[in-house]
Structure 1
Amino acid sequence: MNAARDLHPEQLRSLLHFYADAGVEWLLEEEAVDRIAAFEAMRAARVAAAPPEASPAQQPARPAPARQEPARPAAPAPMPNVAIPDGQAVAEAEFAAGSARSLEELRTAMEAFNGCNLKTSARCLVFAEGKAKPSVMVIGAMPSADDDRDGLPFSGRQGAMLDRMLAGIGLGRAELLLTNVVPWRPPGNRPPSQREADICRPFIERQIALAEPNHLLILGNFAARFLFRSNETIHQLRGEWRNIEVSGRTIPAFATLHPQDLASAPISKRLAWQDLLTFRAGLKG
């Protein structure tokens, strides 16, 4: 394996771009560091530098204790966060989502909802962006680090790649509604758990129902399996029109690869382009 110092600047720049597109946020040292040994050495140095304790004969006389005030009752400790059982959290999510009569009301309800643990680690809620009543609604899996920072879906490099993908078939953000299945970024971009996905399902389904899109474009493995309720992979689900039932309404849906898939495997761009052409033809039909 080549060390970073052995790479040409252009090679190093390309490697760092690849790591960023792949979601890498931390770099490791080239050689292992024994943190335990370093801690022990630091503790030994502190003990050696500490002044010796004075003997009882050398210690100054202590003044007489002052009259003590009556002890005041201690302030009550703050209540710890109590985990909401999954079944109750799903029920609360269904009630909150069902009570919303517009996308703005749904956003407010999701901002006030505390039943999903992902909210505690995310910077902010990443809600839908774009046209309120679109012909096409684009749905990804979950916010990226850029989305979590900006508070908008499909920000940063993944968003720029998606813009180029859509522009290739004549679509732009202004005429679409973009969102994610899960509105809070999981720690470290890990996939959401099944319980987390179940809690978030009422919100994305209510979002689809309120937006009333004519077509859905679903991006990536997690979102496709979630919305199609399937155990197949994105490579089995992509490239074909399927119907989704949401609030008693049947909506044609089409799945393809996520921009992150294309960043990590550029050879897949050919498949995504074929999918987008098929999707565009379906919009005209």
Structure 2
Amino acid sequence: MTPDPAPTAQQLLAFYLEAGVDCALTDEPVNRLADPDAAAPPREAAPAQRARTVPATIPTARVEAAPAPEAAITSAREAARIAPTLEALRELLEKFDGCALKHTATRLVFADGNPKARVMFVGEAPGRDEDLEGLPFVGRSGKLLDRMIAAIGLDRSKAYIANVIPWRPPGNRTPTPQETQICLPFIQRQIELVDPDILVTLGNPSTQTLLSTREGIMRTRGRWFDYDTGTRVIRAIATFHPAYLLRSPSYKRMSWQDLRAIAKALEQVSP
């Protein structure tokens, strides 16, 4: 049997991109198949030197440098609470080092649209296109979102768009619960500062995180919730994430019903 030809570098890169591997986390490649015991053992130190050399191999500084999740969440709450404006909140996020996603993302994806808009859309996290441009919803799902809001007379000059997580997870993986909790105070403060008449959560993760529900999107979409900022109660509604609609276009009809409900609510609430 003739063996299959080895893939070319271009074919390998295409495979990695399709699998979601589109960013490098280290400067040098790591051979994880190599036998760690294959390397030649170091020369044994003299007895008088052992006491001095062994402790030096313990990476105590690296362990101490990693912030505990509880400390990162507390730091996020304190930082978000003192932000007087959206611009100040953005600057705080640029300097915040409590979330590890910041160190693997290309840039911060804060928001897009009109900060004085009456309706605010919140998704889960940026994707590859958003990470490159620094704006939320600019890829295929963003183009669909633009068409969705245009159908009810809105565009990005009349809406405000953000995500619960402002940094792209590597390979578009799902954010961990700890990462979500660390970023939660910032999006909560962002909603409070925008102070929209209507909050729209896009998809299951942002709906469960912001509206404090464990029900799935099939049961929450189209329903109205009360979102309490502490100073005001905002009407909130959940609908499908545009990325989900791209994979399951049969649900666009339900999404259209949700959009019509949003348009009707905007008419009923005086500016």
Shared topology, TM-score over 0.5? yes
Deviations 1:235-282 (A, max 9, x none): 111001111111332100011001100111111111111111122112
Q: Secondary structure at the match of 1:217?
A: strand
**Paired letter, 2:259:** L
Aligned equivalent of 1:62: none
Match for residue 121 of structure 2 among 135, 138, 145? 138
Q: Does 1:169 align with 2:152?
A: yes
Q: Secondary structure at the match of 2:157?
A: helix
**Paired letter, 1:147:** E
Aligned equivalent of 1:125: 108
Q: Does 1:98 align with 2:84?
A: no
Aligned equivalent of 2:203: 220
Contact 2:119 2:159 survives alignment (8 Å): yes
**Paired letter, 1:110:** L
Offset, 1:207: 0.4
**Paired letter, 2:116:** K
Q: How does 1:221-240 map to 2 (within 5 A)?
A: 221-240=204-223
Aligned equivalent of 2:48: none
**Paired letter, 1:25:** G
Runs of 4+ more than 6 Å apart: none
Aligned equivalent of 2:50: none
Offset, 1:192: 1.1
Aligned equivalent of 1:109: 92
Percent identity for Structure 1 against Structure 2: 43
Greater Rg by CA: 1
Match for residue 272 of structure 1 among 251, 255, 266? 255
Q: Secondary structure at the match of 1:232?
A: coil
What is the rounded CA distance, in whole Å, between the counterparts of 1:273 and 1:215 in structure 2?
17
The normalised TM-score by structure 1 is 0.72
What is the rounded CA distance, in whole Å, between the counterparts of 1:24 and 1:234 in structure 2?
26
Q: How does 1:45-194 map to 2 (within 5 A)?
A: 80=62, 82-194=65-177
What is the rounded CA distance, in whole Å, between the counterparts of 2:202 and 2:115 in structure 1?
20
**Paired letter, 1:226:** T
**Paired letter, 1:233:** G
Number of aligned residues? 219
Q: Secondary structure at the match of 1:218?
A: strand
Deviations 1:68-87 (A, max 9, x none): xxxxxxxxx9x648211111
Structure 2, unmatched stretches of 5+, are: 1-13, 23-30, 35-58
Q: Secondary structure at the match of 1:174?
A: coil
Aligned equivalent of 2:178: 195
What is the rounded CA distance, in whole Å, between the counterparts of 2:211 and 2:123 in structure 1?
13
What is the rounded CA distance, in whole Å, between the counterparts of 2:231 and 2:132 in structure 1?
35
Contact 2:21 2:171 survives alignment (8 Å): no
CA RMSD between the two structures: 2.4
Q: Secondary structure at the match of 1:171?
A: coil
Match for residue 20 of structure 2 among 20, 25, 35? 25
